[in-house]
Amino acid sequence: MRNYTQFYIDGRWVDPVTPKTAEVINPATEEVSGEISLGSPADVDLAVAAARRAFTTYGESSVKERLDLLEAIQAEYVRREAELGEAIMVEMGAPKGLANGFHTLLGKGHLGTAIEVLKDFKFEEQRGVTLIRKEPIGVCGLITPWNWPMNQTCVKIFPALAAGCTMILKPPQLAPYSAQILAEILHDAGVPAGVFNMVQGQGSVIGAALSKHEDVDMISFTGSEPVGVQIQKDAADTVKRVGLELGGKSAWIVLDDASLAANVAGATAGMMGNSGQTCSAGSRLLVPASRLDEVRKVAAEAANGVTVGDPQTEVAMGPVVSKSQYNIIQQYIEKGLAEGAELISGGSGRPDGLDKGWYVRPTVFIGTNDMVIAREEIFGPVLVIIPYDDIDDAVRIANDSNFGLGGYVSGEDIETCRAVSRRMRTGAIWVNGGFDFHAPFGGYKRSGNGREWGEHGFHEYLEVKSVIGWN
């Protein structure tokens, strides 16, 4: 049992102003794995006051001082990386290979990237008679989701620290353990008191208090579109900056060539990674209509080959995060059947032999782009295959969405892949795979605004000042 009932405020672990706790459920067993405290606006007030005091000095710190701090954090992160992986496996059900692999690697990668960028970042630039300065925006409220807990937390904390900001983190209530360990890492690495603060609790309480707070200069939120909309409304009265990374219904276009079968299999298996709980997942697979019979067979085989089970074992997919999330996914699967989508793999209920835990069957439909299962973000292991007539039709279908977060193009002709990628209205596109910590990440349309990752992530935490007549 993990008991994390204190908050980290002003360099110390402190009790909540008003004691209130909540149980944390292990999604693989449906059993209580620990408890956390639920904060209140009074706890937020204390954390914001600490961050405001700390900003007067940390905001003036040198690049050298911030580099030394990030490198000290890096050493602590590596030392406790295995603990982070174990926490992620317990809190949100990621299989151990994924939890101790890509989950923790992402956090470490964002930290290393922040160090790389900070070494060469130009905080001042002279243009004619004017000096252009980039200065830290101030006190930041960071509100993070449960699906990739280290990725979404570290991609905010480390650029904010590098820029000279102070902050209050509101971790996800469903997956709070890894954030607790990360706070311990930051403390042990010597982050100055008040620079980093953490208050656990409900998003509707802590997130709202941060968004409305007159002494918070910026909110960075990753999560659902409805919550992002509410945060913008709450922040409007104080005209604070709001960065949003929201939902997605990303299209994966597979070209008609000799690699089609391999690309369909890879896209199908990839969709099931992290139990489909990835905002940029390629949940709409666009394939040539003329080869639908071949696609049907390949996709079904790939989905049926995804092993599901206890995350402490060598499986490809664990449970989804909660009973609520399980029920939502089941409703979408039933909706797909009611709409007349063709079910080629998976379906309702748990996989055979798994009677406990929030396990979902890897599910694949063949449908059309006007179906609810192709329009709304399901956030589970449910793939919708949509046939297209030609490349123009594929691009039209891909862009026919309220979202625009991720996109994928797979094919042997790189020039065609590049041409298709230029026409897709989405913030990040992967052409035949690839990965880059320096690539800006964020959405078009209802998938949000602003950009994270690499140098672009720094700009979220900086104000621009013109000093005219400097020279």
The pLDDT confidence band at residue 183, using thresholds 50, 70 and 90, is very high
Choice among 86, 225, 245, 460 that is catalytic = 245
The pLDDT confidence band at residue 409, using thresholds 50, 70 and 90, is very high
Domain that holds residue 191: 2-246+447-468
**What are residue 19's phi and psi, to 5 degrees?**
-60, 130
Task: Give the per-residue pLDDT at 421.
Answer: 98
Task: Give the per-residue pLDDT at 253.
Answer: 99
In whole angstroms, give the CA distance from residue 140 to residue 462.
11
Judge whether 442 lies within some domain: no
Q: Are residues 272 and 189 in the same domain?
A: no
- Which candidate, 74, 48, 69, 71, places its Cα nearest to that of 58? 69
Judge whether 92 lies within some domain: yes
Task: Give the per-residue pLDDT at 455.
Answer: 98
Q: Any idea what the Cα angle at residue 106 is, between residues 275 and 438, rounded to 5°?
A: 120
Q: Are residues 235 and 267 in the same domain?
A: no
Q: Are residues 341 and 454 in the same domain?
A: no
What percent of the chain lies above the pLDDT cut of 70? 100
Per-residue pLDDT tens digits for 321-373: 999 999 999 999 999 999 999 999 999 999 999 999 999 999 999 999 999 99
Per-residue pLDDT tens digits for 261-299: 999 999 999 999 999 999 999 999 999 999 999 999 999
If phi over 0 gives left and psi between -120 and 50 gives alpha, with beta otherwise, what is residue 91?
A: alpha
Task: Give the per-residue pLDDT at 11.
Answer: 98
Q: Are residues 179 and 261 in the same domain?
A: no
Residue 416: Cβ within 10 Å count: 15
Task: Give the per-residue pLDDT at 130.
Answer: 98
Q: Is 314 marked active-site?
A: no
Task: Give the per-residue pLDDT at 469.
Answer: 98
Q: Are residues 456 and 393 in the same domain?
A: no
Say which CATH number the domain at 256 has: 3.40.309.10
- Cβ proximity of 170 and 142 under 8 Å: yes
Task: Give the per-residue pLDDT at 378.
Answer: 98
